[in-house]
């Protein structure tokens, strides 16, 4: 058998998050600057190269593959990639194929994604207020996203809504978001805003809403029960006893989850980041293209995993940015 991927801290790497594009049809204020300079398309891995990259990781023990961006569904021809990955689901080597999306293209692609073997999607949605949605995304089109949510549910996909907790922005929608997700049978996960990239005039610390405070607000109205549920990622879940729904918290700032990290990220240009909150990266594109065989690629993958750090250094505790990353989230992949 091929030896599994084990990092220097004896964590098995079983989860790959692959960005297929840095482009997006929104410009969310915590993710991108308003006038983004995107990569030249010639620098991106081809769909065939993305397939070969993922296949190598699956051969080395990755069991969960999440496709990200940018917005992954704006990549031309992306459904052929999903269809190709379906063979690993059929063989049993891959346990789950999923994606994170802003929902704008789901009305078009939800049924095709289900047919390709996707059973679960995460949809990034921070507000149900159309005016505020236009403000946070800079481009708007909330009705289009809501039609995408509806299409995903109709296609049989399990939907989880990911909402970035933004102080002074969606604090007053906490209970509305929870009720909407409960009504439609969707999980809801809140994420603390992370210091990724230069976002112009936006104030990172001003955006930061600790999920400790969010949880305390929920507890004013609901009985909260911590759950041992895991979905392969960093979220920790609780149940609202009065509704029975599950809510997740991703807390890279107030309580990091590095000790159990099982994942790495690959950009659309073939860079591997073994930690979202560190600048360290390795190039996998060169070894991928160096040979028709995968031995150089596998050697480079193992070398990169051998450099995986213990954790990140995100820190807002002193009311200043600690651990700020120079790259935007859209470059690394959400």
Q: What domains appear along the chain, each with residue ranges and CATH number?
A: 15-332 (3.20.20.70)
117 annotated ligand-binding residue: no
pLDDT given at position 275: 85
275 annotated ligand-binding residue: yes
Mean pLDDT to the nearest integer, 173-191: 96
pLDDT band at 324 (very low <50, low <70, confident <90, very high): very low
pTM of the model: 0.87
236 annotated ligand-binding residue: no
194 annotated ligand-binding residue: yes
pLDDT band at 332 (very low <50, low <70, confident <90, very high): low
238 annotated ligand-binding residue: no
160 annotated ligand-binding residue: yes
> Which residues neighbour 120 within 8 Å (Cβ) at sequence distance 6 or greater?
96, 98, 157, 158, 159, 160
79 annotated ligand-binding residue: no
Task: Work out the percent of the chain whose per-residue pLDDT is above 70.
Answer: 85
pLDDT given at position 261: 85
265 annotated ligand-binding residue: yes
pLDDT given at position 259: 73
17 annotated ligand-binding residue: yes
42 annotated ligand-binding residue: no
Q: Give the Cα separation of 145 and 149 in Å (integer).
A: 6
217 annotated ligand-binding residue: no
The residue that leads in pLDDT, 100 or 28, is 100
327 annotated ligand-binding residue: no
Q: Give the Cα separation of 12 and 1 in Å (integer).
A: 16
20 annotated ligand-binding residue: no
Half-sphere exposure of 93 (CA within 13 A, CB side): 16
- Tell me the torsion sign for CA atoms 162, 168, 171, 173: negative
Q: Which helix (H) or strand (E) holds 246?
A: strand 246-250
263 annotated ligand-binding residue: yes
pLDDT given at position 196: 46
The residue that leads in pLDDT, 220 or 233, is 220
54 annotated ligand-binding residue: no
């Amino acid at each position: 058998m091929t030896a599994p991927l084990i990092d220097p801290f004896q964590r098995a790497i079983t989860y790959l998050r692959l960005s297929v594009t840095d482009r997006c049809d929104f410009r969310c204020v915590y993710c991108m600057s308003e006038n983004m300079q995107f990569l030249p398309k010639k620098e991106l891995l081809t769909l065939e190269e993305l397939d070969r990259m993922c296949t190598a990781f699956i051969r080395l023990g990755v069991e969960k593959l999440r496709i990200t961006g940018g917005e992954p569904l704006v990549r031309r021809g992306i459904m052929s990639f999903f269809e190709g990955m379906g063979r690993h689901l059929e063989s049993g080597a891959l346990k789950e194929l999923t994606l994170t999306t802003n929902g704008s293209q789901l009305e078009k692609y939800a049924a095709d994604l289900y047919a390709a073997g996707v059973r679960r999607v995460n949809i990034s949605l921070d507000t149900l207020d159309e005016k505020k949605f236009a403000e946070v995304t800079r481009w708007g089109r909330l009705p289009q996203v809501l039609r995408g949510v509806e299409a995903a549910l109709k296609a049989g996909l399990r939907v989880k809504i990911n909402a970035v907790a933004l102080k002074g922005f969606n604090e007053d929608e906490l209970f509305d978001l929870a009720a909407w997700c409960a009504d439609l049978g969707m999980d809801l996960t809140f994420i603390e805003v992370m210091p990724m990239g230069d976002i112009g005039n936006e104030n990172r610390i001003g955006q930061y809403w600790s999920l400790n405070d969010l949880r305390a607000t929920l507890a004013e109205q609901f009985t909260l029960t911590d759950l041992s549920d895991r979905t392969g990622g960093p979220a920790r879940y609780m149940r609202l006893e009065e509704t029975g729904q599950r809510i997740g918290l991703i807390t890279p700032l107030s309580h990091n989850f590095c000790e159990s990290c099982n994942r790495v990220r690959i950009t659309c240009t073939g860079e591997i980041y073994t930690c979202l909150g560190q600048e360290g990266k390795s190039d996998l594109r060169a070894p991928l293209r160096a040979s028709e065989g995968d031995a150089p690629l596998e050697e480079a993958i193992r070398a990169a995993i051998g450099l995986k750090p213990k954790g990140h250094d995100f820190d807002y505790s002193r009311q200043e940015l600690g651990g700020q990353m120079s790259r935007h989230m859209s470059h690394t992949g959400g």
